[in-house]
Structures are given as structure tokens and as C-alpha cells.
Amino acid sequence: MFSVSVVAFLVGRPGLNDLPFALVFPMGTLGALCAVLFIPFWIGMMWDCLFLSRLPLYSKVAWFLFIALTVYLGLLVYYFLVFERRNPRMDRRTDLLH
């Protein structure tokens, strides 16, 4: 919606109130759906970073701050660089089973 607002400003339209409902409704619905889906994922990555990963304390703090401050970008970077590459055999959850 921000990019549509910027384009509307540059073209000379006063704002999003002049955009047709057929454009505003799907974009608003998509934005709400993304927010609802990404918030649990964001909280889960922060939980994993702080309590489930075997990173050193300074790395946990740095990753947590990165995830918390950059939100979507941070959780995707953490997911692909740390969470997905982790060896499940070395995870604490599996240590409890053996």
C-alpha cells in the first residue's frame, strides 16, 4: 500500500481515497493476511533463537536484536541462515529423547 501511495502522490492524486475499491480491498486483504501469518512465525523464530538454539550468548543476543528490529527481513534471514541449516541430531529437543 505504501508503494501505491507513493505512486499516487507522484502522479498528483491526493491519496488512497481516490483509488478504486477493486484495488484497495485485495491489497488490504493481502496485507492483513501476511501480518496474521508472519507474526507467529516471527515469534517462533525469536523463541528458537533465545531458547532452542545452541548459539553462544552473544550470538543469541545479536540474532534476537536483528530479528526484533528488522521484523520480516530478520526472521527470513535467521530462518535460512541458522534455523534451516541446523542439524536436528544436535538439537536439544532430540537430546531429551535419548
Indicate the domain borders of the chain.
2-95
Using alpha carbons, list the distances in angstroms from residue 96 to 15, 20, 41, 44, 93.
Answer: 56, 56, 24, 20, 6
Interval 37-44 mean pLDDT: 90
User: Predicted confidence band at 68 (pLDDT cuts at 50, 70, 90)?
Assistant: very high
16: Cβ–Cβ under 8 A, 6 or more apart, which residues?
1, 4, 5, 8, 24
pTM higher than 0.75 for the full model? Answer: no
Judged against a pLDDT cut of 70, whether residue 3 lies above it is answered with no
**Rounded distance between C-alpha atoms, residue 34 and residue 39, angstroms:** 8
Cβ atoms of 56 and 97 closer than 8 Å: no
Distance from CA of residue 17 to its chain's centroid?
A: 29
